[in-house]
Structure 1
Amino acid sequence: MNMQVKAYAAQSGDTPLLLSAVERREPGPKDVAIDILFCGVCHSDLHTARGEWPGIQYPCVPGHEIVGRVTAVGGKVSKVSVGDLVGVGCMVDSCRTCHSCEDGLEQYCEYEHGFTGTYNGFAFGGGPNTFGGYSAAIVVDEHFTLKITHAEKDLAAVAPLLCAGITTWSPLRHHNVGPGSKVGIVGIGGLGHMGVKLAHALGAHVVAFTTSPSKREEALKLGADEVVVSKNADEMAAHAGSFDYILNTVSAPHDLDAFTMLLKRDGALTVVGVPATPHPSPNVGILIMGRKSIGGSVIGGIAETQEMLDFCAEHGIVADVEMIAMHDIEAAYARMLKSDIKYRFVIDMETLKAA
């Protein structure tokens, strides 16, 4: 028998999120029931709630940066126990049988519809809707639950690691960032501030790129060794041909050539932001003459997400967050559109339960 739980949902792309209710299934043999304590707020939540991407299903309950406590487990669950602190990120299922899934990279599931998102169903549309973390509780297959070992006082700031953290960790690890690497992080926002922290903790020499001179001191405090104002041609030119790797977190369209020019031979630039309109076409000559590459990356697999959480717990890494009440979500969205947040909103879900 399904359970009804409180949630905040959008009924259409042009209506605000309001108190509602969604159904959660009774835990099956491999399921984990979770009381949600905190949920981070991602730009993807805003885009989805507002219907700005194709294939949005309503009602829409966003939220894929979930931290909570296990309240019940199915009879075949072995990974977690009642009372454990766990996380749920951007996925709640995948086909489990394709090459990507077998390689532990469920985010690249090769099934026709891709992985199943924590909200809005299949990655490529179709199929039943799913409801995310702007809710009191959730039921998830144990494969897609993650153990959290941070101190309880840090749990709110752990929530954004489930998206912003893994989105930056996965490409940094894939490109073997570590001691001896000179790494650039473009953009100092929700993603970029985590990229700086993680690259620094991995032992790289970290250069933060920002269009805002006012962010220089902030970036240094986050762990950057140097800060470059990307609008300053002289500052950019001083780093020409010197980077092993650059992670670009900016989602607005811009000239990628300015950054590929900074790569060494065999250097790589990874983009993790999706612009509303395309970037200008890159200069292929710059790539050819240095055997350089531009690539992309999306979130991370379950195994590497667990690796990231364990690494962050060991190194005392969390996101920089501002706590909000559930009923303040529309105000938070308005501030996000103005980049008025350092660097991630997190919802205290007790405020939803008390609604």
Structure 2
Amino acid sequence: MLSVNAYAAPSASEDLVPTTIERRDVGPHDVLIEIKYAGICHSDIHTVRGDWGPQAYPLAPGHEIAGIVTEVGSEVTRHKVGDRVGVGCMVNSCRECANCLAGEEQYCLKGNVGTYGAVDRDGTITQGGYSTHVVVTEDFVVRIPEGIDLDVAAPLLCAGITTYSPLRHWGAGPGKKIAVVGLGGLGHMAVKLAHAMGAEVTVLSQSLKKMEDGLNLGANHYYATSDPATFEKLAGSLDLIINTVSASIDISSYLQLLKLDGALVNVGAPAEPLPVNAFALIGGRRSFAGSAIGGIRETQEMLDFCAEHGLGAEVEVIPAEKINDAYERVLASDVRYRFVIDTSTFA
């Protein structure tokens, strides 16, 4: 076992603190990664604070991991020492079910193994990227192209793929009118990606305070959802809406913005249900759908796409001692647009 420095939550009600965690020895198909940067996702906060159910503590979160390979197992073929690599929201799956065999490991019928707070196949509880090193089976490690710096690459492993996957699945591209609800960690990547795919992009935000940012990121239009005129002006005009907010919104009102056969896809994960008026769906043969992250193959595709188009997350790099402050700032929407931890600052 390898003992490494980390930051972990001792309980749902306490701040994260410096600690050490154990990593398994490198097996034949494993890769040891020296983590350089770890993004802070809103999911980290929900998880360690018990919003999504009880957890096993202490828990080191983090599923936006970028680093360098420092050791490989004897049978590893995909990666070598010195490679720039990333690890996202999952580190294992059954690899045998229909979804896994189709390259959709995120929808593993037996449940994929999350990067932290999950029971791995060997019975241990996974610990995440708020640490200096991690050991992951090679099949769940992706290559970070040279064209992307590691700090701006880290959030792509969650925020990037979470928005790229539905954009690709629902056919974002030239001639399509796409709206992004919320301009945060997920939303800013959705705007960048949809713009790079050639779509006409609209941001729907509570206010216009981030309008300049949204337009600079690639949006063609920016509207305040607090203004009732927005819903009148945009009614029946959109092909696809990506909802990135993790809060309750009036889904039925947003569905009315869609064209015939349009889709509203939820990637945010609010704790409370989102009621839907059936007539908002029936009236235009509209769809209300959900999407998780992408599979490993699609995650690699997303990274290559970002490198080709010069895309990375907008980040604020912080030392480990600022993690708890960053959590409070995320909850206050005071970040433009993703905090990334410099793991060299772990004691």
TM-score by length of 1: 0.95
What is the deviation of 1:128?
2.6
Q: For the residues of structure 2 that align with 1:274 and 1:345, how far apart are their CA atoms?
A: 19
Q: For the residues of structure 1 that align with 2:50 and 2:234, how far apart are their CA atoms?
A: 40
What is the deviation of 1:56?
1.1
Q: Deviations over 1:112-155 (max 9, x none)?
A: xx1111100149xx953111001110000000000011446x21
* Structure 2 equivalent of residue 83 of structure 1: 82
What is the deviation of 1:52?
1.9
Alignment of 1:298-317 (within 5 A): 298-317=292-311
**4+ residue segments displaced more than 4 Å:** none
Q: For the residues of structure 1 that align with 2:11 and 2:314, how far apart are their CA atoms?
A: 31
8 Å Cα contact 1:115-1:122 kept in structure 2: no
- Does residue 135 of structure 1 match 2:131? yes
Q: For the residues of structure 2 that align with 1:297 and 1:55, how far apart are their CA atoms?
A: 24
Q: For the residues of structure 1 that align with 2:283 and 2:47, how far apart are their CA atoms?
A: 40
Q: For the residues of structure 1 that align with 2:283 and 2:273, how far apart are their CA atoms?
A: 24
* Structure 1 equivalent of residue 214 of structure 2: 219
Given residue 290 of structure 2, which amino acid in structure 1 is its aligned partner? Answer: G
SS of the aligned residue for 1:213 comes to coil
SS of the aligned residue for 1:70 comes to strand
Q: For the residues of structure 2 that align with 1:171 and 1:137, how far apart are their CA atoms?
A: 31
8 Å Cα contact 1:40-1:346 kept in structure 2: yes
Give the % identical residues: 54
Alignment of 1:340-355 (within 5 A): 340-352=334-346, 355=347
* Structure 2 equivalent of residue 109 of structure 1: 108
* Structure 2 equivalent of residue 164 of structure 1: 159
8 Å Cα contact 2:214-2:222 kept in structure 1: yes
Alignment of 1:172-183 (within 5 A): 172-183=167-178
Given residue 259 of structure 1, which amino acid in structure 2 is its aligned partner? Answer: Y
What is the deviation of 1:234?
1.7
8 Å Cα contact 1:228-1:236 kept in structure 2: no
Q: For the residues of structure 2 that align with 1:52 and 1:235, how far apart are their CA atoms?
A: 32
Q: For the residues of structure 1 that align with 2:187 and 2:89, how far apart are their CA atoms?
A: 18
- Does residue 295 of structure 1 match 2:278? no
Given residue 32 of structure 1, which amino acid in structure 2 is its aligned partner? Answer: V
Alignment of 1:93-108 (within 5 A): 93-108=92-107
* Structure 2 equivalent of residue 121 of structure 1: 118
8 Å Cα contact 2:315-2:336 kept in structure 1: yes
TM-score by length of 2: 0.97
Q: For the residues of structure 2 that align with 1:287 and 1:47, how far apart are their CA atoms?
A: 30
* Structure 2 equivalent of residue 42 of structure 1: 41
Q: For the residues of structure 1 that align with 2:329 and 2:100, how far apart are their CA atoms?
A: 37
Q: For the residues of structure 2 that align with 1:71 and 1:303, how far apart are their CA atoms?
A: 23
What is the deviation of 1:187?
0.4
8 Å Cα contact 1:5-1:135 kept in structure 2: yes
Q: For the residues of structure 2 that align with 1:282 and 1:133, how far apart are their CA atoms?
A: 36
* Structure 1 equivalent of residue 324 of structure 2: 330
Given residue 29 of structure 1, which amino acid in structure 2 is its aligned partner? Answer: P
8 Å Cα contact 2:5-2:18 kept in structure 1: yes
Unaligned runs of 5+ in 2: none
Count of residue pairs the alignment pairs up: 347
Alignment of 1:181-192 (within 5 A): 181-192=176-187
Q: For the residues of structure 2 that align with 1:8 and 1:216, how far apart are their CA atoms?
A: 35
Q: For the residues of structure 2 that align with 1:179 and 1:122, how far apart are their CA atoms?
A: 42
Unaligned runs of 5+ in 1: none
Given residue 87 of structure 2, which amino acid in structure 1 is its aligned partner? Answer: V
SS of the aligned residue for 2:209 comes to helix
What is the deviation of 1:299?
1.1
- Does residue 149 of structure 1 match 2:139? no
Alignment of 1:5-24 (within 5 A): 5-24=4-23
* Structure 2 equivalent of residue 74 of structure 1: 73
